[in-house]
Structure 1
Amino acid sequence: MSTTDGARRRPQWRGRQMTTRTRTRALTAGDTALADFTERLFGHLPRADQRRWARVYLQGLLTTPGKKSVRRLAASVTESPTASQSLQQFINASPWDWNPARTELLRWVEERHPVRSWTIGQVCFPKRGEHSVGVHRRFDPVAGRIVNCQLGFCLFLSLDGMSVPVDWRLALPEAWVTDPVLRRRARISPEAVHQAPEALVLELVDSIAARTSSAHPPVVADLSRLGNAAALIGVLGRRGHDFLVSVPPALPVRAAALAPGGDPARTPGRGGTTAGDFARLGNTSHPYTMPLAGPGARSQRQQQQRIHSALVRVPEGDSAGRGAQQIYRLFGERRPDGRSGGPVWLTNMNRHRMDDLLHLVRGSARSGAVLGSLADEFGLLDFEGRSFPGWHHHMTLMSAAYAYAVAVRERAEPGRRSA
């Protein structure tokens, strides 16, 4: 799961991705393409004015420099004095269903690129006051302090050289679902309930698995800050998903059983009781010249590193049946001083080459960089988000705008991939 730091950093797109000015020129030349794209994703909306405002919002996200407030989006696309009010109504109050648009976005991306993994990202939305839906004071390990924020989860389609967000979930603290005043004020749907982060991650995976027409790729996620990572690992395995997840170093694990005639002295991780121990003690070594650091890392070391791996079991994750015989590969970077460094990764893809697994790790870091781009250029952190439908409407349109911008860039610069 990409760290919240990816959304807070303000990376410079210029030279790496399309600037707003470049996208504006491309949109002017491809206005019909944007209309067709909007019709495909939002053609399910019953009224013509709703479809029109969907296009206005998309065009505003694609061409408005700076902060993407509803007022600025409306002013950048139309001269109508009432456009801002109409756009605000469309985003925050209009009761349109965002799920069909997300399904079409998923299929639109799948038609154009092979999907290499489903990657889960996590975003902290800093907020002032108590009116934004789901806002709560939480300890943010990236900031190292308690912050007032919304907490969201995103599912990316990780492609060759790029990642595209296609689905979102908002964490609702218990107070927001038990207090009828808060529910009514934020227009929280009756089926929305308080769920642990692990359940939201699983809901994202289940949702895309039910809607995709393609083979299921591996699930890649950072579970290192989740309280019940072991249980989620077990559920993913029992539902038949290949996965590669970053786990807490303190996660209890034990060595996999030895093959007949094996030497106990050479058991990877012998003497260890946690994932961090096994990453440090594992005796299977792989050279690696790309950084294993996660997307929130402040520095990227390019010199050759050694990746150490071990075969392990996860007792808690194995406790519910089929997992009783499940063996996982655990790996991490070991520094020259013998200490482990960076994330500790766990996978059930034991027969895959380490190079293939590390390629998925790199895709996870790329999704973190996309969160930074969404914050910089597409208004990820600019939406006030007071209503539950409004938050989902904005996230849907923002994801669509990003996907369309990637397509515009590919047309303008054939052969080049987004970060």
Structure 2
Amino acid sequence: MTPDEIASVRGELEDFAAEVFEPFARDDQRRWGQVYLRGLLTDGQRKSVEPMAARLGEDGNRQAMAHFVTTSPWDPAHVRARLAWMMEAAIRPTAVVFDDTGFLKDGDASACVSRQYTGTAGKVTNCQVGVSLHLASDHASAAVDWRLFLPKTWDPGSEQADPGKVARRVACAIPDDVGHVEKWQLALDMLDETRSWGIEVPLAIADAGYGDAAAFRLGLQARGLNYVVGISSTMSAQPGEAVPVAEPYRGTGRPPVPKYPDKPQSVKQLVIAAGRKAARPVQWREGSRPGKGRSGLRRMYSRFVILRIRPAGREIVRAADGPALPECWLLAEWPAGEAEPVQFWLSDLPSGMPLTTLVRLAKLRWRIEHDYREMKQALGLAHFEGRTWNGWHHHVTLVSAAHVFCTLQRLARAPKGTAPA
């Protein structure tokens, strides 16, 4: 970039920071918010306080930066609301996407660290897990809300409470009223919070870690949101054409309750029964690698089966209005070279929905992997070395602010009529 371009970006960052940190009560908080943001955006591998302070020269007051991110009493929700408003105006999101990511740790002193599964490592390991809500469209996305998952071992009210971890709650400044909450419930809580900011998006997307929870899907429906969520291959369901049947009434006692004559099958069995010939080719977007697409990039392409099914399960049966289970879409990816389907989604979008639309929406979750990669590799999402509850929430919020700034810069500089990578 030329010196004039650099000066322009610095001015835009100052304006951005002034708007994002406007709710702060004190001038020094606004100042250190901008300094911390600049630190996250500077070159350098580590984005923890000490190396950032060293790179910032005269503004690099390590003690002031550490106090700002760890103990200064500012509410991250005010910053997150402004990020959400900015992204809503810039990208007109078509979906809210829920996901979680791991923060790998060597020690056990940080808030909520425990041996637990994270997709970041692909195994059970020592880590924190953060749940995030992203606003997404086909061409851009950003995380605008966060929750730190508190395992049962950290909850004094749980039968699985670990006395050592419970004792560390005080040192980690975990509020007394914070206990273990399932990740899917944290996702619904964030949805409620973003809606309180005036953000209304009609569709929710998530992977099987959330989609397998019937309570999560019912919670979305209760809030008026349609969904396209990943599910496990073992989820049970009835075929869409299945009908409950009642045994003949013999005139004594209560009339028989209609029941499905056959036991439910797994979604994998239903797709295999439909057969490989039911799979249709779909191209849902162009990737980032060179290929034969119109833009010179490789087409993202696979084969998919789409069926109407009726998900089973006790929670679904209890919530159903009558004996018939509600009908949904089952989408399965079955690549040409595979012996069986490899991935499954469930959706309550209306019947008649085109296959290409369902595939595009199901695959929109790739944007969140892109968000995590940028925030971790370039903006230091997992570099926070503090141990407190508030410090973690402050840091991830500031990283989200840096990521939103970068996203808005890309959008502003992209040629008209094109979608920035």
Instruction: Report TM bin, short chain.
Output: 0.7 to 0.9
Distance change in 2, residues 1:370/1:107 (3 Å)? same
Residue in 1 aligned with 2:257? Answer: none
Structure showing greater radius of gyration is 2
Q: TM-score of the superposition, structure 1-length normalised?
A: 0.82
The separation in 1 between residues aligned to 2:274 and 2:386, in whole angstroms, is 46
The separation in 1 between residues aligned to 2:135 and 2:356, in whole angstroms, is 20
Q: Deviations over 1:158-177 (max 9, x none)?
A: 12311111111111112323
Residue in 2 aligned with 1:319? Answer: 317
Deviation of 1:217 (Å)? 2.6
Contact 2:149 2:181 in 1 (8 A): yes
Q: Name the stretch that deviates more: 83-92 or 310-319.
A: 310-319
Number of aligned residue pairs: give it.
379
After superposition, residues 118-133 of structure 1 pair within 5 angstroms as 118-133=96-111
After superposition, residues 212-291 of structure 1 pair within 5 angstroms as 212-213=198-199, 215-222=200-207, 224-225=208-209, 229-257=213-241, 273-282=265-274, 285-290=279-284
| AA at the equivalent of 1:321 | A
Report the 3-state secondary structure (helix = DSSP H, G, I; strand = E; otherwise coil) of the residue aligned with 1:169.
strand
Contact 1:119 1:155 in 2 (8 A): yes
Distance change in 2, residues 1:272/1:314 (3 Å)? closer
User: Structure 1 stretches (4+) deviating beyond 6 angstroms?
Assistant: none
The separation in 2 between residues aligned to 1:276 and 1:152, in whole angstroms, is 30
Distance change in 2, residues 1:45/1:142 (3 Å)? closer
The separation in 1 between residues aligned to 2:87 and 2:284, in whole angstroms, is 28
Residue in 1 aligned with 2:398? Answer: 397
Residue in 2 aligned with 1:139? Answer: 117
Report the 3-state secondary structure (helix = DSSP H, G, I; strand = E; otherwise coil) of the residue aligned with 1:185.
coil
Report the 3-state secondary structure (helix = DSSP H, G, I; strand = E; otherwise coil) of the residue aligned with 2:411.
helix
Residue in 2 aligned with 1:4? Answer: none
Residue in 2 aligned with 1:408? Answer: 409
Q: Which has the higher contact order (CA 8 A, sep 6+)?
A: 1
Deviation of 1:361 (Å)? 2.4
Report the 3-state secondary structure (helix = DSSP H, G, I; strand = E; otherwise coil) of the residue aligned with 2:97.
strand
1:158 to 133, 136, 157: 136
Distance change in 2, residues 1:277/1:339 (3 Å)? farther
Residue in 2 aligned with 1:183? Answer: 169
Q: Name the stretch that deviates more: 38-47 or 409-418.
A: 409-418
Distance change in 2, residues 1:379/1:192 (3 Å)? same
Deviation of 1:120 (Å)? 1.2
Residue in 2 aligned with 1:206? Answer: 192
Residue in 1 aligned with 2:16? Answer: 37
Residue in 2 aligned with 1:375? Answer: 376
Report the 3-state secondary structure (helix = DSSP H, G, I; strand = E; otherwise coil) of the residue aligned with 1:253.
strand
The separation in 1 between residues aligned to 2:300 and 2:139, in whole angstroms, is 22
The answer for unaligned runs of 5 or more in structure 2 is 157-164, 244-261, 288-297
Contact 2:101 2:119 in 1 (8 A): no
Q: Name the stretch that deviates more: 199-208 or 318-327.
A: 318-327
Q: TM-score of the superposition, structure 2-length normalised?
A: 0.82
Matched, 1:344 2:344: yes
Residue in 2 aligned with 1:194? Answer: 180
1:73 to 38, 49, 52: 52
The separation in 2 between residues aligned to 1:184 and 1:57, in whole angstroms, is 26
**In percent, how many aligned pairs have the same letter?**
27
The separation in 1 between residues aligned to 2:7 and 2:99, in whole angstroms, is 32
Distance change in 2, residues 1:413/1:235 (3 Å)? closer
The separation in 2 between residues aligned to 1:362 and 1:309, in whole angstroms, is 15
How large is the RMSD of aligned CA atoms in angstroms? 2.9
The separation in 2 between residues aligned to 1:378 and 1:235, in whole angstroms, is 33
Contact 2:91 2:136 in 1 (8 A): no
The separation in 2 between residues aligned to 1:418 and 1:23, in whole angstroms, is 21
Contact 2:102 2:119 in 1 (8 A): no
Distance change in 2, residues 1:312/1:138 (3 Å)? same
